[in-house]
Amino acid sequence: MNFIRKRMGSLEKLFNPSSVAVVGVSEDPTKLGSVLFSNIIDSGFKGKVYPVNPKHEKLFGVKAYKSVSAIKGKIDLVAIAVPAKFVIDVMKDAGRKRVRAAIVITAGFKEVGDDGIELEKQLLETAKRYKIRLLGPNCLGMINPMTDLNASFAASTPEKGKIGFLSQSGAFCTAILDMAVEKNLGFSYFVSLGNKADIDELDLLDMWYKDENVKVIGAYLEEISKGKDMVDLVRSNDNRKPLIMFKPGKSLSAMKAISSHTGSMAGSTETFQAAIKQNGIIESNEVNEMFYTMMGFAWSPLPKGPRVAVVTNAGGPGIIATDEIAEHGLEMAEISAKSKRAMRNFLPPTASVENPIDVIGDALAQRYRAPIDVLMQDENVDSILVILTPQLVTQIEETAKLIISSAKLYEKPIYAVFLGGKYAKTGLQRLYDNKIPAFLYIQDAVKVIEKMHTYQAYCKKAIAMDDKKKDALVKNRGKGKYQKELQKLVKNKVLNPSESLVQKMAEEVGIDLPEQIISNDLKEILHFAEDRYPVVIKATTESIAHKTDVKALYLNIKDEQELISNFEKLQATIAKVSKTKTAEILVQEQIEADESLLIGANRDGGADVYEDGSKGFGHLIVIGKGGIYTEVYKDFQTTLVPSTRTEFENALYSTKVSKILRGARGMEKLAVNKVLDALEAVQKLVLLYPEIESLDINPIMINKKRAVAVDIKIFLK
């Protein structure tokens, strides 16, 4: 299931043009077109740049052109900043000139509603007709620091670096850029996607995964329409470039806001979370967190494990760091005895060589050297966090220099926190100048270490995707035995298949069901129950439809005598309610449950999600605590279809209730393997029948031998 980009052409001319025409430059230097033109010139772009404006002969001291086609030389890229209603004409003109890439800065398309949607459709059609790759509309433009091209109206150009950054929000671009310029974070690409009419995150990811100038990818996305494609693309990323993603819209109110802001639905949070977790995507939820995470991955090697050593010149911040490290799933490194001795030789007696290592408030820069050198060589330490609080004698810049030289000597990540404001800044700036991840706040640093550790652990675990098996699963998609019956129901808008059809489908994929018969013959019922006591009897749904106030269920029937008496009572009840003398009764083995779970499946996107290029993420499988505590503890985990058994196992073991399955409080282990079988069976079911919109098994009863689905509900769409 390799990801194949069915696109019309490469992005070479967009990012690496030899000539650019800017349409919409005017005499007013504050207008978008003029800013764009100036930025291209000022950023030091080596190619040719032509201003286009029919009303002027000269602009900014150079010859201006009436149209793109009026320019004599070849034009690779056209940047358009004219009012929306003129954009398509400019595109056509550029198309006739065989321009291959366009940036449309202009707003007033999809985001303004119906008229805009229509205009954007026409814009895309024009682009396709003329084979022009289109960035935008309604975007800030893009910056390629490697070729010194700032084709955007952003106020600054970042340094050259190894980060590919894309954003659906121009404002987010601006905020990151502002921080990047201040802290010297460099980029290989910096792209504002705007409305994503043509070029979207998939194009850029595909390109950046292959581009050796990109080491780290950052993405701010309000909407991921082709979720399944994105997951496939990320999985195909063999050289494992970290992808840091910020996708707002977790809360209901934010989803509403997104839909009014971009005119598109945000998609389910759960599905996105599952996709993130399962595929090692690094999530970020704040502007500064996103920025610092990119900084960490770009500037520092990955820590080899969770063990952090803290070196501080003050006890308090050391303790705060210790708390943060514990809270973020990292560990305080156990310093080796050898390292402690080595440090002890260089530190005053009042210093502490236990982690957090306290070099004491009167430490000059040199006092940080021994601990850092020693910890760099201690195999019990995976990363070093150096904290500096400006005290009376503290040498802020000198300490920064010392950290810089250590970072260059060793291959172990080192992070710095310089607390405070005014004084700390001089040191921080020196660290940024030398590409050392450095922070004003302890929490910011620890969050970055956590993310880098989590990513490293994900890469190390390297969950075998076993794509062949998955392909096999997906190949049978839509080939269930009861496909026709299901399709008939969908056609007739019957969205709940009958109990018996659900049972047949469940049996087809091997879901363990309680043994049962439906009968009105007492003799037959007694025969069935013979070696299955205790049993349960109940009225079938049909016989007492909508009567919730009658006793229609008898549990824990231990012997023949009890069965006969309850059978008679139930018959009488049914007779009274439904006026049939000998109604059918369901007899079922009673499942003794040590624990009750729920398994669910929900589809995100259409039934065609398994086709390339289709919308949504496909089915999401949910596993967690079932029964009366379902809503109380909301203890669920999720994985995307298709998942391997290992991925199901990871999800199951991430639930809290799995402690019970593994034998908590001295109890016996329950049938974990049967739960995994059930998860695989449910996955098979939703793949065989993509018509299933959602499925709900609650409870699935777990004991030491079986995982039995007592109640399965299926909804079609």
Contact segment (CB under 8 A) with a second copy among 30-38, 200-208, 235-243, 481-489 equals 30-38
- In angstroms, give the least distance from the CB of 657 to a second copy: 6
* Distance separating alpha carbons of residues 666 and 664, to the nearest angstrom: 6
Enumerate residues 427-456 that contact a second copy by CB under 8 A. Answer: 440-443
Q: Is 30 helix (H, G, I), strand (E, B) or coil?
A: coil
- For a second copy, the binding residue among 313, 590, 602, 683 (CB under 8 A) is 313
Report how far residue 344's alpha carbon sits from residue 502's, in angstroms, rounded to the nearest whole number.
Answer: 71
State how far the alpha carbon of 504 is from the alpha carbons of 479, 485, 617, in Å: 15, 12, 27
Q: Which two tokens stand for residue 158?
A: 């970042």
Q: CB-wise, 181 or 550, nearer to a second copy?
A: 181
Contact pattern for a second copy over residues 582 through 621, marking x by CB under 8 A: ----------------------------------------
Contact between 260 and a second copy per CB under 8 A: yes
Rounded Cα distance, 688 and 695, in Å: 13
List the helix and strand counts (H, then E) for the chain.
Answer: 25, 30
Distance from C-alpha of 200 to C-alpha of 624, rounded to nearest angstrom: 35
Q: Are 215 and 237 in contact (CB under 8 A)?
A: no
Residue type, 691: E
- At residue 218, the 3 state secondary structure works out as strand
Two structure tokens written together for 89? 């004409």
Residues 348-377 that bind a second copy (CB under 8 A): 350, 352, 354-356, 358, 361
**Minimum Å distance from CB 135 to a second copy?**
17
317 binds a second copy (CB under 8 A): yes
**Residue 297: which residues within 8 A CB-CB, separation 6 or more?**
215, 216, 242, 244, 282, 452, 455
Q: Which is nearer to a second copy, 389 or 683 (CB)?
A: 389
Please list the helix, strand and coil fractions of the chain in percent, rounded to the nearest 5, in that order: 40, 20, 40
Among 96, 659, 669, 704, binds a second copy (CB under 8 A): 659
Range list of H helices, 353-491: 366-377, 396-409, 424-433, 442-461, 467-475, 483-491
* Residues 166-185, interacting with a second copy (CB under 8 A): 167-172, 174-175, 177-183
| CB of residue 126 to a second copy, shortest distance in Å | 23
Instruction: Tell me the C-alpha distance between 427 and 543, whole Å.
Output: 79
389 binds a second copy (CB under 8 A): yes
The 3-state DSSP class for residue 368 equals: helix
Determine the distance from the C-alpha atom of residue 139 to the mean position of all C-alpha atoms in its chain, rounded to a whole number.
23
Smallest separation, CB 395 to a second copy (Å): 12
Residue 286 in the binding site for a second copy (CB under 8 A) = yes
- Minimum Å distance from CB 598 to a second copy? 13
Question: Residue 178: phi, psi to the nearest 5?
Answer: -60, -45
Which region, judged by CB under 8 A, interacts with a second copy, from 42-50, 295-303, 415-423, 693-701?
415-423
Q: Does 292 participate in binding a second copy (rule CB under 8 A)?
A: no
**From the CB of 219, what's the least distance to a second copy, in Å?**
13
Q: Which of 4, 8, 155, 409 binds a second copy (CB under 8 A)?
A: 155
Residue 420 interacts with a second copy (CB under 8 A): yes or no: yes
Chosen residue from 59, 103, 231, 325 binding a second copy by CB under 8 A:
325
Neighbours of 56 (CB within 10 A): 16
> Contact 636/668 with Cβ under 8 angstroms?
no
Nearer to a second copy, 487 or 654 (CB): 654
Q: Which of 135, 202, 233, 419 binds a second copy (CB under 8 A)?
A: 419
Which of the ranges 455-463, 491-499, 603-611, 625-633 carries the binding residues for a second copy, by CB under 8 A? 625-633
Task: Determine which residue in the list 156, 429, 520, 654 makes contact with a second copy, applying CB under 8 A.
Answer: 156
Q: Is residue 114 within the footprint of a second copy (CB under 8 A)?
A: no
Q: How far is the CB of 292 from a second copy (least distance, A)?
A: 11
163 binds a second copy (CB under 8 A): no
601 φ/ψ angles, rounded to the nearest 5 degrees: -145, 135
Q: Which tokens go with 201?
A: 């995150």
Of positions 26, 53, 322, 683, contacts a second copy by CB under 8 A: 322
**Residue number, 120 or 677, with CB nearest to a second copy:** 120
3-state secondary structure 683-699: HHHHHHCCCEEEEEEEE
Question: Helix (H, G, I), strand (E, B), or coil: what is residue 12?
Answer: helix
Determine, following the binding rule CB under 8 A, whether residue 199 of this chain makes contact with a second copy. Answer: no
Cβ closest to a second copy, residue 70 vs residue 440: 440
* Segment 221 to 250, residues that bind a second copy, using CB under 8 A: 222, 248-250
Q: What angle do CA 450, 456, 462 make, to 5 degrees?
A: 135
Residue position matching structure tokens 């950054």: 165
With beta carbons less than 8 A apart as the criterion, state whether 693 and 604 touch.
Answer: no
Which residue has tokens 């639905």? 265
Query: Between residues 232 and 635, which has the closer beta carbon with respect to a second copy?
Result: 635
Q: Which residue in the set 332, 463, 490, 518 belongs to the binding site for a second copy (CB under 8 A)?
A: 332
Give the nearest distance from C-beta 316 to a second copy in angstroms.
Answer: 3
Site string for a second copy, 542-581 (x = CB under 8 A): ----------------------------------------
Interface size with a second copy, residues (CB under 8 A) = 93
Site for a second copy in 660-679 (CB under 8 A): 660, 664-665, 667
Spatial contact of 117 and 263, defined as CB atoms under 8 Å apart: yes
Cis peptide before 699 (omega within 30 of 0): yes
- 415 binds a second copy per the rule CB under 8 A: no
* Burial of 210: CB neighbours in 10 Å, binned 0-12, 13-18, 19+: exposed
Measured from the CB atom, is 112 or 474 closer to a second copy? 112
